């Protein structure tokens, strides 16, 4: 069989751009975190917290997150199908459409053009761009799968296809709006309906864009990195189908105790708890695949990123269902507990797997071994510590504030005014900002390492490692 011609150039471009947007997202996040500590750091009209926060989330989720997903999917699909991309031109179009969309998103969000819907702030002309982008991507991936030279579709391809379909359905339904002008529209749905549609979108965007794709990467890169196959194929099948079936019922756990009908809330709560099973199916499958390979945690930095990533996925998918229970939600919802939950997922799970995938790709896209493994290890520890210093203080802060909000005197009056509870948050917000800075330093080291690799530098350790192998 002739060797297929893989398009790695496009993968490299997506990796480079997604890292750039990732750095922007982290930087804006750190700035916004300081704005919460000191309101004098708001510079109206463009650089206020209310406008920077959506820029942070959009750059992170769509620039870094989806950018990495594009890179990884375009790589993995070629390898698993043993064929080049269906269309290289379409992939190039996708790259520039992606960057155009992210730049347009950054500009319009700073100008205040927003729908206000969390994680779907982009106004309707940008929605159109996103749809074109996603269709181009979907066609290329699906057509590549169609012309594959490997009959069996590996687990990663299932998650990729589910992601493509899922995001398309979610985004289209939640985009429905009536335009007033080029940059102003009103949602097609009102009030409680709008809330229910939106959180169906937002929660499942997490499922379809930030759970399924990292799992696709994990199932591909873990065996590739360790050299050992996934422990149980059957467990992968059960976990996959139950995950894609159950996730879609859970959006209303973001709306517990709101005017959304109780039965929807109860269904969401029940399915959220059930979701522990398929989530942990993948976690356990990952752990058991490490049987006899745990020594690689010491020796192989890729494995470290992957196993810590899946561990945070496991914690995330235990904490999430817990928060979906009415009584617990009544306590911690609206506090800093929730941003900490999200950041364990983004910084601890999605980013960790993304870093691992990029490190794995380095020899293929830059044509040489990584410049420095010690720097990669330092990157690992900084992003791990940064994330923990971000999340743990805010869980404490969330419990503290929730306790103060609920504290009552003997005569049935409230013990604390709102401001008395808010001022208690400042020390924890400082810890978060410091955690964010540490994470950012880790990512800057990562970028430095990649730049030196791309430029062809070889550090002494890499040379020794290369010699040892030869």
Please tell me whether residue 176 binds another protein under the rule CB under 8 A. Answer: no
Based on CB atoms, which residue is closest to another protein, 118 or 369?
A: 118
Please tell me whether residue 149 binds another protein under the rule CB under 8 A. Answer: no
Minimum Å distance from CB 294 to another protein? 30
CB within 8 Å of 256: residues ≥ 6 apart: 265, 268, 269, 324, 326, 329, 330, 333
Please tell me whether residue 46 binds another protein under the rule CB under 8 A. Answer: no
Site string for another protein, 270-309 (x = CB under 8 A): -x--------------------------------------
State in Å, rounded, how far the first CA of the chain is from the last one: 28
Chosen residue from 4, 259, 427, 456 binding another protein by CB under 8 A: 259
Please tell me whether residue 258 binds another protein under the rule CB under 8 A. Answer: yes
Please tell me whether residue 396 binds another protein under the rule CB under 8 A. Answer: no
84-92, 240-248, 304-312, 348-356 -> range binding another protein (CB under 8 A): 240-248
Residues 186-205 that bind another protein (CB under 8 A): 186-198, 200
Chosen residue from 411, 468, 469, 470 binding another protein by CB under 8 A: 411
Minimum Å distance from CB 353 to another protein? 21
Based on CB atoms, which residue is closest to another protein, 294 or 334?
A: 334
* CA neighbor of 306 nearest in space, from 372, 220, 222: 222
DSSP for 236-287?
Answer: HHHHHHHHHHHGGG-GGGGGTTSSS-HHHHHHHHHHHHHTHHHHHHHHHHHH
List b or e across 398-412, with b for residues whose CB sees 16 or more CB atoms inside 10 angstroms. Answer: bebbbebeeeeeeee
Task: State the DSSP code for 39.
Answer: G
CB within 8 Å of 185: residues ≥ 6 apart: 115, 123, 124, 177, 178, 179
CB within 8 Å of 236: residues ≥ 6 apart: 155, 219, 230, 281, 282, 285
12-20, 22-30, 106-114, 456-464 -> range binding another protein (CB under 8 A): 106-114
How far is Cα 20 from Cα 11, in angstroms, rounded to an integer? 14
Site string for another protein, 303-342 (x = CB under 8 A): ---------------------------x--xxxx-xx---
Residues 421-450 that bind another protein (CB under 8 A): 422-423
* CA neighbor of 28 nearest in space, from 8, 4, 52: 52
Based on CB atoms, which residue is closest to another protein, 133 or 212?
A: 212
Minimum Å distance from CB 424 to another protein? 10
State whether residue 50 is helix, strand or coil. Answer: helix
- Residues in the interface with another protein (CB under 8 A) total 94
Q: Is 435 exposed, middle or buried (0-12, 13-18, 19+ CB in 10 A)?
A: buried
How far is Cα 96 from Cα 100, in angstroms, rounded to an integer? 6
Chosen residue from 5, 9, 46, 112 binding another protein by CB under 8 A: 112
Chosen residue from 405, 444, 448, 458 binding another protein by CB under 8 A: 405
Based on CB atoms, which residue is closest to another protein, 28 or 260?
A: 260
């Amino acid at each position: 069989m002739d060797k297929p011609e893989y398009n790695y150039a496009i993968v490299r471009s997506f990796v480079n751009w997604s890292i750039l947007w990732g750095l922007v997202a982290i930087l804006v996040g750190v700035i916004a975190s300081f704005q919460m500590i000191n309101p004098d750091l708001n510079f109206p009209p463009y650089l206020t917290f209310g406008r920077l926060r959506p820029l942070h989330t959009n750059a992170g989720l769509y620039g870094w997150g989806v950018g990495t997903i594009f890179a990884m999917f375009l790589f993995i699909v070629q390898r698993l199908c043993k064929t080049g991309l269906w269309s290289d031109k379409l992939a190039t179009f996708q790259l520039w459409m992606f960057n155009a969309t992210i730049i347009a998103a950054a500009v319009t969000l700073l100008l205040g053009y927003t729908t206000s819907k969390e994680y779907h702030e982009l106004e309707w002309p940008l929605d159109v761009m996103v749809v074109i982008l996603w269709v181009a991507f979907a066609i290329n991936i699906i057509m590549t799968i169609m012309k594959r030279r490997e009959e069996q579709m590996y687990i990663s391809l299932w998650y990729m296809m589910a992601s493509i379909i899922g995001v398309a359905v979610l985004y289209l339904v939640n985009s429905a709006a009536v335009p007033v002008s080029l940059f102003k529209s009103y949602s097609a749905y009102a009030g409680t309906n709008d809330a229910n549609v939106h959180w169906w979108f937002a929660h499942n965007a997490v499922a379809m864009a930030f759970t399924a794709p990292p799992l696709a990467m994990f199932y591909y890169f873990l065996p590739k990195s360790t050299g050992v196959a996934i422990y149980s194929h059957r467990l992968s099948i059960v976990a996959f189908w139950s995950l894609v079936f159950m996730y879609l019922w859970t959006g209303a756990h973001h709306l517990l105790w709101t005017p959304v009908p109780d039965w929807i809330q109860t269904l969401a709560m029940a399915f959220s708890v059930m979701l522990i099973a398929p989530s942990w199916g993948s976690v356990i499958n990952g752990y058991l695949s490490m049987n006899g390979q745990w020594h690689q945690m010491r020796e192989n930095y890729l494995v470290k990123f992957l196993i810590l990533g899946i561990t945070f996925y496991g914690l995330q998918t235990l904490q999430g269902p817990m928060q979906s229970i009415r009584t617990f939600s009544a306590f911690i919802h609206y506090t800093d507990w929730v941003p900490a939950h999200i950041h364990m997922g983004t910084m601890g799970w999605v980013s960790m797997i993304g870093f691992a995938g990029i490190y794995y790709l380095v020899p293929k896209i830059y044509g040489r071994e990584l410049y420095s493994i010690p720097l990669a290890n330092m990157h690992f520890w900084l992003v791990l510590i940064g994330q923990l210093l971000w999340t743990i203080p805010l869980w404490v802060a969330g419990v503290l504030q929730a306790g103060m909000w609920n504290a009552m005197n003997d005569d049935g009056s409230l013990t604390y005014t709102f401001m008395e509870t808010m001022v208690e948050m400042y020390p924890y917000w400082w810890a978060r900002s410091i955690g964010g800075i540490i994470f950012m330093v880790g990512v800057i080291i990562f970028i430095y390492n990649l730049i030196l690799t791309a430029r062809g530098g070889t550090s002494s350790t890499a040379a020794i490692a290369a010699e040892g192998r030869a």
